[in-house]
Structure 1
Amino acid sequence: MKKQMAIFLSLVTAGSILLTGCGDQKGASSKSGDGDSEIKSVAFVTGALGDKSFADLAWAGVKKAGEDYGIEAKAVEYGSDKAKITPTLLDTAEAYDIVIFTGNEFVEALERCYQDYPNTKFIGFDIDPDYDLKMENVFAITYMQHQGEFLAGALAQRMSSTGTIGCVMGMESVGINDFLVGYIQGSTHANPNGKVASSYIGSFSDTTKAKELALVQVQQNRADVLHQVAGGAGLGVFSACQEKGIWGIGVDADQREFFVDSQPQIADTILTSMTKRNDTSLYKTIGETIKGETPYGTKVKWGVKEGIIVLAENDYYQKNVPQETRDYIDGLEGEIAAGELKVETAYGMEQSRLVQLRDGVKP
């Protein structure tokens, strides 16, 4: 039945979805009971698993929550076709007690339908901080990634021999620029005269172009520590780091951990990663939802203070980063957590200020 519904919905045109809303789905939920005590299943809706980063880490947290709390956990992959987002969301909301998603495209689809699923709890993570949540059965998590990027930029500059570090990003957007803004501020804090080379790939999957841009930063700009903020394309950045014998910094998940068994040569280029602990935040939220403690209808901002935005301080980091530098980064982390050190964000930032930051550190 579930598969038949998914096929039917996938045939509905985008225009008809916009016109009719979710009327056909109203009252479709077959779940019994209205309370959190009835929760027996959770689904994570994602384009695809296997990115060895953001999606995989999120699924790890959801899967562990399913195992620990004794509920069914399922990853629902819709592929690369954005037209499938709404049908997949509706189908999943009908079948599961908790539905987890990421990105504002899901939020926009859900705004038209959330009232048709009063017994379904929706958890949206990595939601834009300026989003105004008004759905009572949705809990939204915003990550203050710019704080973690400050730490990554400071570390990269401290580990650099040339004073020039690099950042290779996917597609330019406010969210991606938020990474760059924090990274530049951290670099400048650690070395006021330091430079930051930055490039946009225009894709989150083009590993070849990612590698090309990374090599340009190394060969032309003398960057000797590269940070990737490019999803799956980031493998190309690590490949360039391996080829040139320089450090790379991962993103979202502890990427060295993902590669250490399958591609150890790549893993050995990854000094650390600026992590968004999707696993921790989702595991925590699922557990608190089951206990009836999650304040649905609200949005939270989690960052360094909450231990959700952190650098991966694994054994490799401990081994290769000098104690003095580790102490320096720990000190910055403490200042950010205490509110003593403020990091600017790209959200709400004037374009002129962004250009000033970016151009001010160009090699």
Structure 2
Amino acid sequence: MKKLTALLLASSMLLTAALTGCGDSDDGGDSKKSEIKSIVYVTSNLGDKSFADISWKGVQEAGEELDIDVKVIEYGTDSKSKMEPTLMDAADTYDLVLFSQGEMLEILEKHAEEYPTKRFIAYDIDPNYDNKLSNCFCINYVQSEGEYLAGALAMKMSQSKVIGFVGGADGVLIGDFMVGYIQGAQSVEPSGKVAVSFIGNYTDAPKAKELSNVQINTNKADVVHQVAAGAGLGVFQACQDAGCWALGVDADQREYFIDSDPELAKVILTSMTKRNDIALKEAITLAVKGELPFGTLEKWGVKKGVVALAENDYYKEQVPTDVQTYIDEQRQKIADGEIKVQSAYGMEQEELNSIRNNAKP
């Protein structure tokens, strides 16, 4: 796995990155462009109709436009032990490797110097991460900004002024979604309530349905937002049974069900999308051109257009015009910096608990 020449090349890693990673000179850009002949996307599993699938879509589109071979490697949902060998095998074989999750980034930190001529793009990374890897570009999605819009929309559409939030794992990542969602909801209705539940994983759809049923039947939530990847199917099913609205996440999830389950699709009013397809396509294109600033972390949010509500035809049909206008105004205010959205990253647990408890029905 470790190449014999890597030890000799490692000492020149910073120089290599300076010449080829950021495109600071014409020679660097041309050299970088010629280096990337193959690209691989490493993920746990495709088929989640959400985060992983939309990421792969962006990689594929970039490959087609750039006429570069792209592949996907799946290491398995419950196979954390396979993360390290999978990532290293990918780096052995491909010129540009893309992945998400802080765990994968920690693995790369241990091995980055073994691959001084290879390039990595890590996305959905902690905004406070100090990127010192000169051959890796990191993207942080400011999802709390998109969630502010989702919460505002949910509260505008709610009759009971109680909305729901069903998350996967109870951690800082999903907490960041929750904080933005609650802030957006209470900007519309300061006394409005947000019922919050966590499944504990991203695969247990029956538990997600059970938690949603409690929010709907006990708390009287009439709009429920799922932030639970594949487990979110249970939220949609609960909303379908109850005849209330659901909000999807990451991808435009209604699109995935229009043909396979049109009745289920009808309950998905919109989704808070993290446009990994747009972000990864852009990052790959810049990398191939030699213009991607490796060794840095950038925060891409509403202003960049990579976190947004899916404003498809169904959204435009179902959401009143005045509400659409309101959401558009809020989006612009976020982009202009007029609205500052809170983030769970760097937030004390006591404050996070307070935000959740103060919104509790």
Q: Same fold (TM over 0.5)?
A: yes
Aligned positions of 1:5-16 closer than 5 A: none
CA change 1:38–1:184 in 2 (3 A) is: same
Contact 1:46 1:101 in 2 (8 A): yes
- Corresponding residue number in structure 1 for 2:25: none
Partner Cα distance (1:93, 1:223) in 2: 47
Partner Cα distance (2:54, 2:258) in 1: 15
Partner Cα distance (1:137, 1:191) in 2: 46
Aligned positions of 1:41-56 closer than 5 A: 41-56=38-53
- Corresponding residue number in structure 1 for 2:345: 347
Contact 1:28 1:94 in 2 (8 A): no
- Corresponding residue number in structure 1 for 2:71: 74
- Corresponding residue number in structure 1 for 2:33: 36
The answer to which structure, 1 or 2, has the higher relative contact order (CA under 8 A, 6+ apart) is 2
Aligned positions of 1:264-275 closer than 5 A: 264-275=262-273
Q: Which amino acid aligns with 2:66?
A: Y
Partner Cα distance (1:25, 1:201) in 2: 47
- Corresponding residue number in structure 1 for 2:16: none
- Corresponding residue number in structure 1 for 2:177: 179
CA change 1:238–1:28 in 2 (3 A) is: farther
Q: Which deviations, in whole Å up to 9, do the C-alpha atoms of 1:76-102 show, x marking residues without a partner? A: 101121011110011100111110000
Q: Which amino acid aligns with 1:59?
A: W
- Corresponding residue number in structure 1 for 2:310: 312
Q: How far 1:330 moved relative to its partner? A: 0.4
Contact 1:27 1:117 in 2 (8 A): no
User: Normalized against structure 2, the TM-score is what?
Assistant: 0.92
Q: Which amino acid aligns with 1:135?
A: L
SS in 2 for 1:328: helix
Percent of aligned pairs sharing the same letter: 54
Q: How far 1:352 moved relative to its partner? A: 1.8
Contact 2:54 2:277 in 1 (8 A): yes
User: Normalized against structure 1, the TM-score is what?
Assistant: 0.91
Q: Which deviations, in whole Å up to 9, do the C-alpha atoms of 1:253-310 show, x marking residues without a partner? A: 1101111111211111110000110000000011111111101111000000111110
Q: Which amino acid aligns with 2:162?
A: T
Match among 86, 95, 98 for residue 97 of structure 1: 95
Contact 1:37 1:292 in 2 (8 A): no
SS in 2 for 1:251: strand
Structure 1 unpaired stretches of 5+? 6-21
Partner Cα distance (2:5, 2:111) in 1: 8
SS in 2 for 1:161: coil
CA change 1:24–1:263 in 2 (3 A) is: farther
Number of residue pairs aligned between Structure 1 and Structure 2: 340
Partner Cα distance (2:108, 2:210) in 1: 39
Contact 1:246 1:269 in 2 (8 A): yes
Contact 2:301 2:307 in 1 (8 A): yes
Partner Cα distance (2:349, 2:132) in 1: 28
- Corresponding residue number in structure 1 for 2:109: 111
Q: Which amino acid aligns with 2:134?
A: E
SS in 1 for 2:200: coil
Partner Cα distance (2:8, 2:204) in 1: 40
Partner Cα distance (2:84, 2:215) in 1: 40
Higher mean C-alpha deviation, range 350-359 or range 296-305: 350-359
Structure 2 unpaired stretches of 5+? 10-29
Partner Cα distance (1:317, 1:186) in 2: 18
Q: How far 1:193 moved relative to its partner? A: 1.2
Contact 1:42 1:73 in 2 (8 A): yes
Partner Cα distance (1:35, 1:28) in 2: 20
Query: CA-atom RMSD, angstroms?
Result: 1.6
Report whether the alignment pairs 1:65 with 2:62. Answer: yes
- Corresponding residue number in structure 1 for 2:20: none
Report whether the alignment pairs 1:359 with 2:357. Answer: yes
Match among 315, 322, 325 for residue 323 of structure 2: 325
Contact 2:143 2:307 in 1 (8 A): yes
Q: How far 1:119 moved relative to its partner? A: 1.6
Q: Which deviations, in whole Å up to 9, do the C-alpha atoms of 1:56-94 show, x marking residues without a partner? A: 000000011111110001011011210111100111001
Q: How far 1:38 moved relative to its partner? A: 2.5
Q: Which amino acid aligns with 2:44?
A: G
Q: Which amino acid aligns with 2:347?
A: M
Contact 1:34 1:119 in 2 (8 A): no
Partner Cα distance (1:201, 1:342) in 2: 29
Contact 2:32 2:287 in 1 (8 A): no
Q: How far 1:40 moved relative to its partner? A: 1.2
- Corresponding residue number in structure 2 for 1:19: none
Q: Which deviations, in whole Å up to 9, do the C-alpha atoms of 1:206-236 show, x marking residues without a partner? A: 0000000000000000000000001100000
- Corresponding residue number in structure 1 for 2:250: 252
Partner Cα distance (2:84, 2:8) in 1: 16
- Corresponding residue number in structure 2 for 1:193: 191
